[in-house]
Amino acid sequence: MQGFGKFLETFFNAEVAARYLPDILSGMAVTIGVGLAVTVTGLAAGLALAILRAMGRGWMRLPIVAFVDILRALPPLVLIIIFFFAFPMIGVEMSAFTATWLALSLVLAAYAEESVWGGILSLPRGQTEAARSTGLTWWQTMHAVILPQAIRIAIPPLTNRVIAVAKNVALGSVVALSEVLNLAQSATSAAGNPTPLTMAAAAYLVIFIPAMLGARRLESRFQWRT
């Protein structure tokens, strides 16, 4: 019983929690902001890359495939560290926010391109042919016939990926991005008590469990295919 009391006092210390709650909340705002920014730019860039690849200009394909492969192979933490610590050496200064946002956007773009491209590939050729036979242009066909179907196919793999990449905002703590984990670590050393770390974990759960439930609803909404 005494052990349990010590456990509570260590990890769930109300006094420490109250003191650092504002820090944690401001960290949450940063985490959510960066996560949303990454989601928007990453998905948009991935979609654009998939469309470019579908346009099928020979010289476009190779760089896109190489980009996707490289960003799927590189650990995101390595990217963030290179952007933040190495790029200033060649005159490109990046804030912790820029480095984290850019690295994770590129990573998400690669996965999104792959998912949307997979969706496009899985459609029968007849879809394009039918649309073109009624006079639709290439772009109209892409926009009204191909992408709506490809994106629906891409949604289940993509929702999970978006969440996995957005969770990596926590990696920004390594370059002192003032998201939840970073602030919690400073608070823990200042307070000499790990309750802020508990709060950081709780904060991430508060952000990402609703995100996961939302993703699940989105997936079932789009399961119209038989």
Partner 1 sequence: MTPLLELAGLRKSYGALEVLRGVDLRVFPGELVCIVGPSGSGKSSLLRCCNRLEESTGGHIIVDGEDITRAGVNINQVRTRIGMVFQQFNLYPHLTALDNVTLALRKVQGKSPAEADALGLAALERVGLADKANNHPAQLSGGQQQRVAIARAIVLQPKLMLFDEPTSALDPETVGEVLKVMRELREAGMTMLVVTHEMGFARAAADRVIFMDAGAIVEQGPPAEVFGAPKHDRTRAFLARYTAGH
Partner 2 sequence: MDALLTNFFNVGVFKQVLPFLLEGLLTTLGLSVLVIPLGLAGGLAVALLATQGNRLARILVAVYVDLFRALPPLVLLIFIYFGFPFLGIDLPKLLAVALGFLLNNAAYYGEIFRAGLASVPAGQMEAARSTGLTRGQALIHVVIPQAVRNVLPDLLGNSIEVIKLTTIASVVALPELLRIARDAQSLVYNPSPVVLAALIYLALLWPLVRWLSRLEHKNLVAE
- When CB distances are held under 5 to 8 angstroms depending on the partner's kind, the choice from partner 1, partner 2, none that residue 198 binds is partner 2
Q: Which long-range contacts (CB under 8 A, 24 or more apart) does 128-135 make?
A: none
For the bound state, the minimum distance from the C-beta of residue 153 to partner 1, rounded and expressed in Å, comes to 10
What is the C-alpha end-to-end distance of the chain, expressed in Å? 56
Q: Is the Cβ of residue 109 or residue 171 nearer to partner 2 in the bound state?
A: 171
Where do we find the tokens 């902001």? 33
**Contact between 131 and partner 1 per CB under 8 A:** yes
- Cα angle 61-67-68, degrees, rounded to a multiple of 5: 90
Helix ranges restricted to H, the chain: 2-11, 14-55, 58-73, 76-81, 96-122, 125-133, 138-141, 147-167, 180-191, 195-221
Contact positions with partner 2 (CB under 8 A) in 151-210: 163-164, 167-171, 173-174, 180-181, 185, 188, 193-194, 197-198, 200-201, 204-205, 207-209
Is the four-CA dihedral 127, 129, 131, 134 of positive or negative sign? Answer: negative
CA 78/CA 42 separation, integer angstroms: 18
**Contact between 133 and partner 1 per CB under 8 A:** yes
**Contact between 122 and partner 1 per CB under 8 A:** no
**Contact between 95 and partner 1 per CB under 8 A:** no
Spell out, one character per residue from 43 to 82, where the chain touches partner 2: x when CB under 8 A holds, - when not: --------------------------xx-xxxxxxxx-xx
CB count in 10 Å sphere of residue 172: 27
Contact positions with partner 1 (CB under 8 A) in 143-172: 144-145, 148-149, 152
Spell out, one character per residue from 87 to 126, where the chain touches partner 2: x when CB under 8 A holds, - when not: --xxx----------------------x---x--xx----
Q: Which of 2, 4, 90, 225 binds partner 1 (CB under 8 A)?
A: 225
Q: Which residues have CB under 8 Å from 140's CB, separation 6+? A: 131
Site for partner 1, rule CB under 8 A: 124, 126-127, 129-137, 140, 144-145, 148-149, 152, 224-226
